[in-house]
């Protein structure tokens, strides 16, 4: 509730709430609200302007742009939430394990994080896709690898900050097993900033997925990803501007909405993190 109030007071806060709610609803209800099947081809209707029949027009194969954008929301949200779930759980597990392990293991884990982050993120994603090939599953797994160090580093730093606290010491003295300490005491105490980080990473994941798909190295057509749609729009830019315009706006709406939401959550839940991030 506090987060909602803080959000509504920020510049663009109402916009963020509306944008994210709209996207989630659209993604969930896609089959109910999409006027056409996303892959239904009608060459006779190719590159039509917006009309009552096709509210946002059609693409080069006569597919309804609105329907493809609606299904694209599913792809964008589905991939970004999956990537965040995988990289958050793996990163947090590695970060906590590193912080509680002997120095050599800790250094090794930090070294691997450093190596992964020594690549600019889009270049690492490109290099990984070059090796394993494009496709939905690969994109989720490979982009997750890029984000694991984000969560790992914060989890490690947070764990180091509390590992010698009296309540952890007390648990250990009382004979609690390590897994119990980690699960019941370390994790709940470090998870707040991690969730904030997760929310702030969602727009970045959406951007990387759409970027890879735009380059033809992400989600394979005909699956409707906003990146694929933008690429189609870019290819036919000299004949029709509607696909490029609407798919670009969908991406801006999603990234801006989640970015503003992430900031509001950060300020509400953890003002200290404002500097750390």
Partner 1 sequence: MRSASLQIHLGFKLATAALAVAGSVVLLMALTRLIPGDPATVILGSRATPEAVAALNARIGLDKPLIEQVFSFFGKVASGDLGEDVFNGRPVLSLVLNALPNTAAVAVAAMLCAVALGVPLALFSARWPGGKTDRMVAFLSVGFISTPSFVVSVFLLMVFSVHLRWFPVLGAGESGDLGDQLWHLVLPTAALAAGWVGYIARLLRSSLLEILGENHVRTLRAYGVSETKILMKYALKPAILPTLAVLGMGFGELLGGAVFAEVIFNRPGLGSLIYDAIRTRNYPVVQGGVFVIVMLYVLTNLVADLSQSLIDPRERARLTSGRGH
CB of 65 to partner 1, least distance (A): 15
# residues near partner 1 by CB under 8 A: 46
Contact 68, 229 (CB under 8 A): yes
| 10 token code pair | 């920020």
Residues 133-152 within binding reach of partner 1 (CB under 8 A): 133
Cα distances (Å, whole numbers) of residue 158 to 90, 134, 187, 192: 16, 35, 10, 10
Identified binder of partner 1 from the candidate list 210, 219, 224, 265, rule CB under 8 A:
210
User: Judged by CB under 8 A, which stretch of 44-52, 125-133, 150-158, 188-196 contacts partner 1?
Assistant: 125-133
Q: Is the peptide bond before 152 cis (omega within 30 degrees of 0)?
A: no
CB of 107 to partner 1, least distance (A): 11
Residues 6+ apart with CB under 8 A from 164: none
Helix (H) or strand (E) holding 242: helix 242-269
User: Judged by CB under 8 A, which stretch of 66-74, 76-84, 155-163, 213-221 contacts partner 1?
Assistant: 213-221
Identified binder of partner 1 from the candidate list 24, 33, 85, 115, rule CB under 8 A:
115
Residues 6+ apart with CB under 8 A from 29: none
Q: Is 126 in the site for partner 1 (CB under 8 A)?
A: yes
Taking CB under 8 A as the rule, which mask of x and - marks residues 245-264 in contact with partner 1?
A: x--x--xx--xx-xxx--x-
Identified binder of partner 1 from the candidate list 141, 157, 215, 273, rule CB under 8 A:
215
Identified binder of partner 1 from the candidate list 24, 55, 85, 130, rule CB under 8 A:
130
Token pair 């930090």 in the structure block, residue? 110
The dihedrals phi and psi of 25, each to the nearest 5 degrees, come to -60, -45
SS3 64: strand
| 250 token code pair | 């969908």
Binding site for partner 1 (CB under 8 A): 11-12, 111-112, 114-116, 118-123, 126-133, 203, 207, 210-211, 214-217, 230, 233-234, 237-238, 241, 244-245, 248, 251-252, 255-256, 258-260, 263
């Amino acid at each position: 509730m506090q987060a909602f109030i803080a959000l509504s007071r920020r510049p663009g806060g109402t916009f963020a709430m509306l944008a994210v709610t709209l996207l989630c609803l659209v993604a969930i209800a896609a089959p109910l609200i999409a006027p056409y099947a996303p892959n239904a081809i009608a060459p006779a209707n190719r590159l039509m302007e917006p009309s009552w029949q096709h509210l946002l027009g059609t693409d080069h194969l006569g597919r309804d742009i609105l329907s493809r954008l609606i299904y694209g929301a599913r792809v964008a949200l589905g991939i970004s939430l999956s990537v965040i779930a995988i990289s958050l759980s793996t990163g947090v597990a590695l970060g906590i394990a590193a912080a509680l392990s002997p120095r050599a293991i800790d250094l090794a884990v930090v070294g691997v994080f450093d190596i992964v982050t020594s690549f600019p993120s889009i270049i690492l994603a490109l290099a990984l896709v070059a090796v394993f090939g494009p496709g939905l599953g690969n994109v989720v797994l490979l982009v997750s690898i890029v984000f694991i160090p984000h969560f790992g580093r914060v989890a490690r730093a947070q764990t180091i900050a509390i590992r010698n606290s009296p309540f952890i010491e007390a648990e250990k003295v009382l004979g609690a097993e390590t897994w119990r300490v980690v699960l019941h005491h370390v994790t709940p105490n470090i998870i707040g900033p991690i969730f904030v980080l997760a929310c702030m990473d969602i727009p970045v994941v959406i951007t990387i997925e759409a970027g890879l798909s735009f380059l033809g190295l992400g989600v394979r057509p005909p699956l409707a990803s906003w990146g694929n749609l933008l690429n189609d729009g870019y290819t036919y830019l000299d004949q029709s501007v509607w696909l490029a315009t609407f798919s670009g706006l969908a991406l801006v709406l999603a990234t801006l909405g989640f970015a503003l939401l992430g900031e509001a959550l950060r300020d509400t839940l953890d003002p200290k993190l404002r500097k750390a991030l």
